[in-house]
Structure 1
Amino acid sequence: METDSTSFTELWDRVVGTQPDPSEWLVAVTALIALAAIVPYGVWRLTRNAVTIAHEGGHGLVALLSGRKLDGIRLHSDTSGLTVSRGKPTGLGMILTAAAGYTAPSLLGLAGAWLLAAGHITALLWGAVLLLAAMLIMIRNAYGLLTVVLTGALFFLISWFTDADVQAGFAYAAVWFLLLGGVRPVFELQRKRAGGRAPESDADQLHRLTGIPAALWLFFFYVVALGSLLIGARLLLEPAF
């Protein structure tokens, strides 16, 4: 029993403990890696799946926190997704749920940047594993199960089997990706709406729920995404530089 207790204590200390600040080159290189995963369209068609996980996870989490019943989440191979919840069709809970999707990747990135700035690299990796495991319970299609399992497995393997430098590099790349990747979907939504190809977008649903023009909701998404990127970048760069 003492050995088990000691092992648990060591594991807990490993998770909540702090790690040294990374070198300047690691912070810069991981930012470039994240950009390379977002800017080229061919690569983005694959990596956008991770943003969709965060987007739909945001809808799901806020639905639960606002008292709605979460029926399930679907992730599709075209990087779209659908979160279904039950409750009042109007009201604050529905508004918060609808607003959570496009803001979730950026806000998760900002939270991750705060953890990294505080030196909690391992806590970030394990936190991601726990969030993905919780989301897995609500996935309702095979492709969604596959993407969430693979993403969670990647975070777990990095956190458990690699050394501190690899963990730091992966964690910084992941946070940069969320911060930068949270911006591009908002631009894509704007283009789709301009072409009349997104009549049921989150911004349009929010317009019907609140009476506030969809364009203002789109502006709100931009403010959250760009604000999170600026603050998050400062948090990531300040310790290293």
Structure 2
Amino acid sequence: MDITSPGDLWDRVTGSQPDPASWLVLATAAVALAAVLWRPVWQVARNAVTIAHEGGHGLVALLTGRRLDGIRLHSDTSGLTVSRGKPTGAGMILTAAAGYTAPSLLGLGGAWLLAAGHITALLWGATGLLAVMLVMIRNAYGVLTVLVTGALFFCVSWLTGPDVQAVFAYGVVWFLLLGGVRPVFELQAKRRRYGRRGLPFGSGGTAAGGAPDSDADQLARLTHAPAAVWLFLFHTVTLCSLTGGGRWLLGL
């Protein structure tokens, strides 16, 4: 990136970049879809969704006046966000509901930025969010994951040209939109398996691994609305975000 003054940097970040060719947008969508559907790749790529998931919990906890104690990211792509505050009420409900909706909503916001041509702004914004999140990570694997992800965004935004930035940015946004859908179906299937076995659900949490605890069950206890209602809400948000964000990315 050729930057000679702070003004040049500001213009670069806030300015707009040309849209990539339509075939390139479709190609990045195909690669992102393959990453979501192909299990060996998904098991690794899901870490990015977990970062967004736990970041969503943490951000909403702060916005609703709760105290964020820390975030942990684990090698099985599960995570845990711990906050303090009133154990019931709107703040706790919004915090619990933010996890499964965060990747898709971030993807929707990214699609809006890309539709406006703000590719560099998206990359720098993501780098900044990851830097802020790094402060709240409380385990080594989580620090490593966020550092590597943030370094990748920074290097692409600083060292590569417009074409590479566009491919990377579109790929990331497509992955968030598509990758935000799969965890909700995985949660639904997991709850069904445990229900058939007659196993009780725990006290709630954000784990994406084999534990029976889930955000939907925590929300059911907080609101007395069935977990199925919250699963429906998660499905609605993720699928609507994919539809709207996809239309923006495709220029429809």
1:213 corresponds to 2:226: yes
**How many angstroms apart in 1 are the aligned matches of 2:177 and 2:101?**
10
1:94 to 92, 95, 99: 92
2:214 to 201, 208, 211: 201
1:191 to 183, 189, 192: 189
What's 1:177 paired with?
175
What's 2:69 paired with?
71
1:135-189 per-position Cα deviation (integer Å, ceiling 9, x unaligned): 0000000000000000000000000000000000000000000000000000000
2:82 aligned counterpart, secondary structure: strand
Kindly provide the amino acid, as one letter, of the partner of residue 22 in structure 1.
P
Kindly provide the amino acid, as one letter, of the partner of residue 110 in structure 2.
G
1:8 to 6, 10, 13: 6
**How many angstroms apart in 2 are the aligned matches of 1:13 and 1:116?**
16
- For 1:77-226, list aligned pairs within 5 A: 77-196=75-194, 199-226=212-239
Task: Please say if residues 55 and 102 of structure 1, whose CA atoms lie closer than 8 Å, have aligned partners that are also in contact.
Answer: yes
What's 1:238 paired with?
251
1:158 aligned counterpart, secondary structure: helix
CA deviation after TM superposition for structure 1 residue 6, in Å: 6.3
What's 2:48 paired with?
50
1:38 aligned counterpart, secondary structure: helix
What's 1:227 paired with?
240
1:54-85 per-position Cα deviation (integer Å, ceiling 9, x unaligned): 00000000000000000000000000000000
Unaligned regions of 5+ residues in structure 2, if any?
195-209
1:18 aligned counterpart, secondary structure: coil
**How many angstroms apart in 2 are the aligned matches of 1:47 and 1:12?**
32
2:225 aligned counterpart, secondary structure: coil
Kindly provide the amino acid, as one letter, of the partner of residue 11 in structure 1.
L
**How many residue pairs are counted as aligned between the two chains?**
235
CA deviation after TM superposition for structure 1 residue 234, in Å: 0.2
**How many angstroms apart in 1 are the aligned matches of 2:234 and 2:57?**
14
**How many angstroms apart in 2 are the aligned matches of 1:36 and 1:158?**
22
Task: Please say if residues 189 and 198 of structure 1, whose CA atoms lie closer than 8 Å, have aligned partners that are also in contact.
Answer: no
CA deviation after TM superposition for structure 1 residue 121, in Å: 0.1
1:88 aligned counterpart, secondary structure: coil
Kindly provide the amino acid, as one letter, of the partner of residue 89 in structure 2.
G
Kindly provide the amino acid, as one letter, of the partner of residue 71 in structure 1.
D
What's 1:23 paired with?
21
Output the aligned Cα RMSD.
Answer: 1.2
1:22 aligned counterpart, secondary structure: coil
- In the superposition, the TM-score normalised over structure 1's length comes to 0.96
The range that moved more, 20-29 or 51-60, is: 20-29
Kindly provide the amino acid, as one letter, of the partner of residue 233 in structure 1.
G
**How many angstroms apart in 2 are the aligned matches of 1:42 and 1:119?**
33
**How many angstroms apart in 1 are the aligned matches of 2:150 and 2:244?**
26
2:136 aligned counterpart, secondary structure: coil
Kindly provide the amino acid, as one letter, of the partner of residue 204 in structure 1.
D
Kindly provide the amino acid, as one letter, of the partner of residue 139 in structure 1.
I
**How many angstroms apart in 2 are the aligned matches of 1:35 and 1:238?**
19
CA deviation after TM superposition for structure 1 residue 199, in Å: 3.8
